[in-house]
Amino acid sequence: MRKSVGIVGARGYVGAELIRLIAAHPQFDLAFVSSRELVGQRVADHFAGVAGIDPELRYSSPSHEELPALGADAVVLALPNGKAAACVAAFDAAGVDPVIVDLSADYRFDDAWYYGLPELTRAKYAGQRRISNPGCYATAMQLAVAPMLDVLDGPVQCFGVSGYSGAGTSPSDKNDPEKLRDNLMPYALTNHVHEREVTRQLGHEVQFLPHVAPHFRGLTITANLPLSKAVERDEVVARYRTQYAGEPLVDVQDDAPWVSHIAGRHHVELGGFTLSPDARRLVVVATEDNLLKGAATQALQNLNLAFGLDEWTGIPVAEKAA
């Protein structure tokens, strides 16, 4: 039985990726797409060549109180941080209980919500209808660090660089191509929300140093892992391959992945495993498209889980090996 999915906040970059993914999904239909800026315009006119979009579907701008009456089986909240609670409260007040996937940070620290990084938290999914989608950087950092958790000795440092799409569409220095030209812009160098998110989820301190670069999409993190014992490189690679065996959206490779290779792809690449001379410090590189596995693709994984479908339905996983 087909399920209907509504998107709140569809004008942004992630909202656009969600529209493409849901339109192509064999079991999902778009129930509504909300955008105050585009209200009344046909959605299909903004997605030339994308099949599966009802030609009569138009952007709308329902109030929070009107959302429950739209009857969607699932609602994805693609809103800035701090905006999700009012939408959730409207569903609670109306006694309507769709699957809600929140892409902001608003519920990532709420134990009442399932934290949906399936490769690491799938076993904790037990039919929860409130799902918090992890942050883009937080996804890459956790996948890069998790296989070594039991031999870490001290805080992990992660140096991150993202394309400016990660700063969203609201104008700022971090998404101004002119200010980013020939530049690398540091920001939020302590206490970044993804730093707190990863530290909480892994139960181990992670220190995160984010930067924005002039490219549009794709992020890379270089993780420095202090170890409690000396390890062999072959042992390290085996840990990662074992951890992510059977995970089509995690590609463990020998060389350090390049961010230029990940744009438009749905998986995370891990590699570049390098040990210090004493074998007590490991460096790992992870790359990811921040709009896809870092947001929209992961949301689709979580929707598939919520409706009992194969987790990778509607996700072109074969592209990983392309």
Length of the chain: 322
List 100's β-bridge partners, or say none: 75, 130
Residue 208 neighbours by CB under 8 Å, 6+ apart:
137, 141, 157, 158, 160, 192, 194, 195, 198
Report which secondary-structure segment, H or E, holds 234: helix 233-243
- Encode burial over 101-126: b for 16+ CB neighbours within 10 A, e otherwise: bbbbbbbbeeeebbbbbbbbeeeebe
Q: Which residues pair with 101 in a beta bridge?
A: 76, 131
Residue 318 pLDDT:
65
Query: Which residues are CB-neighbours of 232 under 8 A, at least 6 positions away?
Result: 279
* Domains defined along the chain, listed by start: 3-133+294-315 (3.40.50.720), 136-290 (3.30.360.10)
Whole-number pLDDT of residue 321: 42
What pLDDT is attached to residue 322?
Answer: 40
What is the bridge-based pairing of β-strands 281-288 and 268-275?
Answer: antiparallel
Residue 69's Cβ-side half-sphere holds a number of Cα atoms within 13 Å equal to 5
Six-digit token string for 157:
């440092």
Give the Å distances, CA to CA, from 5 to 179, 211, 265, 303.
37, 34, 23, 9
Amino acid of residue 248: P
Q: What is the pTM of this model?
A: 0.95
Residue 180: predicted pLDDT = 87
State the Cα–Cα distance between residues 233 and 247, nearest whole angstrom: 22
Residues annotated as part of the active site: 136
In angstroms, how far is CA 302 from the centroid of its own chain?
Answer: 11
pLDDT by position in tens, the chain (length 322) = 899 999 999 888 999 999 999 999 999 999 999 999 999 999 999 998 899 999 999 999 999 999 999 999 999 999 999 999 999 999 999 999 999 999 999 999 999 999 999 999 999 999 999 999 999 999 999 999 999 999 999 999 999 999 999 877 677 788 888 888 999 999 999 999 999 999 999 999 999 999 999 999 999 999 999 999 999 999 999 999 999 999 999 999 999 999 999 999 999 999 999 999 999 999 999 999 999 999 999 999 999 999 999 999 999 986 444 4
Q: Which two tokens stand for residue 128?
A: 């929860």
